[in-house]
A and B are shown apart, each in its own frame.
Chain A
Amino acid sequence: MLQVRDLQVAFGRGPALVRVLNGVSLSLRSGELCGLVGESGSGKTVLALSILRLLPQDAAIRGSIRLGGEDLLTASAARLRALRGAVVSMILQDPMTALNPLLTVECQVGEPLTYHCGLRGHLRREQVVALLEKVRLPGARQLLHAYPHQLSGGTRQRVAAAAAIAGGARLLIADEPTTALDASTQADFVRLLHRLARETGMAVLFISHDLHLVLELVKRVVVLYAGHILEDGPAADALRSPKHPYTQALAACVPTLERRGERLPTVGGTPADPARLLPGCPFAPRCPEVAPACSMMPPLVEAETGHSVRCWLRLARR
């Protein structure tokens, strides 16, 4: 249902030009649960906002984004508004800032119902209660008139999720929705997303820097680094048999019981700065297996069925 082709996004002009996405291609089938993993600054959020066409006005976008066959880069503002919330929606990272402090829960969850479904008054209220129950909030009816400052972080994120799915979106982008939550609330929220996806049949693009967390939800993982997709394959492989050295490094960072007491490995070096990218593989400066060929950009090649990787070494070994 979603096809992103060779998406390039840059900010600024001339020498201050920063390329954040450098030809990202990504397809999602309806109902598919896909994880998007990457460090800070890898372009995860920019990709999400590109799909919603909510990037700042100074962003230069090239390539194509099609949603259900419709080209989003040429769609009119009115058409985009009709799609947002109704076909594609998003949960933001920080529940403390994502809800409007001056509007009640009923108003904020009910807005998509008003503008996409034309519901008002009593009908809308019942629908809001149903949505709050859908995100497993106890005492939904008492929450209707609550303001965000009266709610806990976990509750707020559930309200934000209810608002995001209220318009019946077929694709939900969850941009690090659990990063600001404490550990036990995190697990609950991931389970909730899983259940919502199953109940509604919507596709979910789950964005996180936490590979371990992503694997609890999704069947497929896309690894983004400095605006390039480095690996795209089944979630089961990402931990057991990662192909790209970067994914291997990420997988090694996941704490396990067998290695208890050992020092937790980290990915060496510092994340790539999109403002100062050298030609060639963006991970080369930090790669333990770097080879002379890495000064040229490797292509993203399907190494096995449904598993692509962007690395010269893996291509040579094939």
Chain B
Amino acid sequence: MVRLMIARAGQLVIYLTCLTVVVFGLTRLSGDPLVLLLPPNATQQDYDQLARRMGLDRPLVEQYVVFARDLLHGDIGRSYKWGVPASRLLLERLPATLELAAAAMGIATVLGMSAGVIAAIRPDSMVDAVFAGLALVGQSIPVFWLGLMLILVFAVKWPVLPVGGRGGLAHLVLPAITLSWYSTAVVSRVTRSSMIDVLHSDYVKLARIKGVPERVVVLRHALRNALVPIVTVSSLEFAILLSGAVVTETVFAWPGVGSLVVEAVLAKDYPVIEAAVLLVSAVFFTVNFFTDLLCNLIDPRLAAGRTP
């Protein structure tokens, strides 16, 4: 476990260094923020002056060194558009995204895993076919359309839930369902195929031979063994949800990281974009790390450094 952590820390350093270069380079390629910041009637003199003040007149390498040095001091720069530190902007939006992602992931794991297990117990049955159909629909419906339809039905036609914005639990219901839809489908399909493999294994047969009740066979013997791929896929889904559900947040006017990123990209707000990308990669890294820990806890062979 300790070795895993040290190895991961080393990887993190290399990975973050490469990442800052890519993030820095890509944002610089995306266009000129000064044109958007200056009024339409600005002169060349105004332009040069602003460029100098923001350090954008320096060579790119020098800009990068300044960016990296400030980053090491925990300063990612001020937003061009709002004039406040980019990190503060993101951290203000983070709780909303966390709340939405956690709710959506909760729905996806509970519904997806239940559906997957039920389908795997009776493969090719009616129930399995219905779940397969639902999963196909779940994976093919565009998120924005689903969000709009839910709003239309549950907020406009029968106004039982709010149209958008963030507030109490009622505000969370529609966006969480919308966001979880795709992930539920993915989790249920992975659970089904992983469970079917495991249910055919010899050790499940031995459990039945021993007269273990079917419920215990499915949950203790089969599901635990099927869990590693499920956990891996679910946490990947969770990382994607955490890094900002751009479409869902936009449809429901949810004040999260996703909608902030959209605004920042439109404004060519370099520091905010850079901060957002770094945050997303940190999220992925953290989630991956905890996934590894979790898989190690589930499977003693992984902890022993063997492949199962």
Contact = CB atoms under 8 A, between A and B. Distances in A.
B301 A115 contact: no
**Chain B, interface SS category:** helix
A167 interface: yes
A54 B211 CA distance: 11
A100 interface: yes
B300 A90 contact: no
A101 B211 contact: no
B209 A101 contact: no
Contact of A112 (B210, B221, B299): B210
A167 B210 contact: yes
B211 A82 contact: yes
A81 B214 contact: yes
Given A147-B300, A149-B300, A149-B301, A99 B212 contact: no
Contacts of B208: 52, 54, 84
A86 interface: yes
Contacts of A100: 203-204, 206-207, 221, 225
Contacts of A77: 214
Contacts of B221: 100, 103
B304 interface: yes
A163 interface: yes
Interface in B182-237: 201-214, 216, 220-221, 224-225
Interface in B251-306: 298-301, 304, 306
Contact of B209 (A85, A103, A147): A85
Contacts of B203: 97-101
B206 A92 contact: yes
Contacts of A103: 220-221
Nearest to B222: A100
B299 A102 contact: yes
A98 B206 contact: yes
Interface in A124-181: 147, 149-150, 160, 163-164, 166-167
A101 B207 CA distance: 12
B167 interface: no
A115 B206 contact: no
A90 B206 CA distance: 8
Contacts of B205: 54, 92, 98
B308 interface: yes
Interface centre among B201, B208, B216, B304 (most CB of A within 10 A): B208
Nearest to B209: A90
Given A92-B205, A149-B306, A101 B210 contact: no
B212 A111 contact: yes
A287 interface: no
Contacts of A52: 208-209
Contacts of A94: 202
Contacts of A92: 202, 205-206, 209
A81 B298 contact: no
Which of B210, B216, B298, B299 gathers most chain A CB within 10 Å?
B210
* Most chain A CB atoms below 10 A, which of B209, B221, B308: B209
A116 interface: yes
5 contacts: A85-B212, A100-B221, A100-B225, A101-B308, A163-B206
Given A84-B210, A99-B203, 14 more contacts: A85-B210, A85-B211, A89-B210, A90-B209, A92-B209, A98-B205, A101-B299, A112-B210, A147-B301, A149-B300, A149-B306, A163-B210, A164-B210, A166-B210
- 9 smallest CB-CB distances across A and B, nearest first, come from A85-B211, A84-B211, A85-B210, A100-B203, A97-B202, A98-B202, A147-B300, A112-B210, A90-B209
Interface of B: 201-214, 216, 220-221, 224-225, 298-301, 304, 306, 308
